[in-house]
Amino acid sequence: MQQALAMTYLWLKAAHVIFVIFWMAGLFLLPRYFVYHQETAPGSPDNAIWTDREGKVLKIILWPSLVVVWVLGLALAMVTGAFQQGWFHAKLAFVLGLTAYQFWLAGYHQALAQGTRRLTGKRLRLLNEIPGIAAAFIVVFVIVKPF
């Protein structure tokens, strides 16, 4: 029985890491698409093409990955008792931040689709660094468990 639980844990953990990779790929890709999208004229055929591409990234990669990452992550936290550990709280704060970032990206996608360009390409390029910085902190919290 103990071995079966251990194997289940390893499969949950593997699936969680796989879907985190998918999620992060989408979080890196979508803002880059925004940079190119902003250079198109509102209402142009190119604007429609970028809107469609961004919508596919959200629908096919980001939203499903987000759901699976959260479900598997919470399952792992329950199995390991991580809710009582400080490193997990720090990790959770960063994951909540990345989740909020994705919702913001989805809103910006809608704004671009309607022709509103609130940010410069330079600012979008800077925002594209958020997932990488957050991922670095999350990895340190999970591997090193500094508190």
pLDDT tens profile 13-43: 999 999 999 999 999 999 999 999 999 999 9
> Look-up: residue for tokens 């704004």?
111
Predicted TM-score of the model (pTM): 0.93
Q: Is 16 annotated as a binding residue?
A: yes
For the stretch 62-94, pLDDT in tens is 999 999 999 999 999 998 999 999 999 999 999
Q: Please name the amino acid found at residue 82.
A: A
What is the C-alpha separation between 92 and 67, in angstroms, rounded?
Answer: 15
Kindly list the domain boundaries of the chain, sorted by start residue: 2-144
What is the C-alpha separation between 17 and 88, in angstroms, rounded?
Answer: 16
Residue-wise DSSP of 93-137: HHHHHHHHHHHHHHHHHHHHHTT---S-HHHHHHHTTHHHHHHHH
User: For residue 7, what pLDDT band results from cuts at 50, 70 and 90?
Assistant: confident
Q: What is the pLDDT of residue 3?
A: 77
What is the C-alpha separation between 21 and 30, in angstroms, rounded?
Answer: 14
Q: Is 91 annotated as a binding residue?
A: yes
Q: What are the two backbone dihedrals, phi and then psi, of residue 109, each rounded to the nearest 5 degrees? A: -60, -45
CB 51 within 8 A of CB 111: no
User: Is the model's pLDDT at 56 over the cut of 80?
Assistant: yes
Tokens of 37: 């999208």
What is the C-alpha separation between 25 and 40, in angstroms, rounded?
Answer: 24
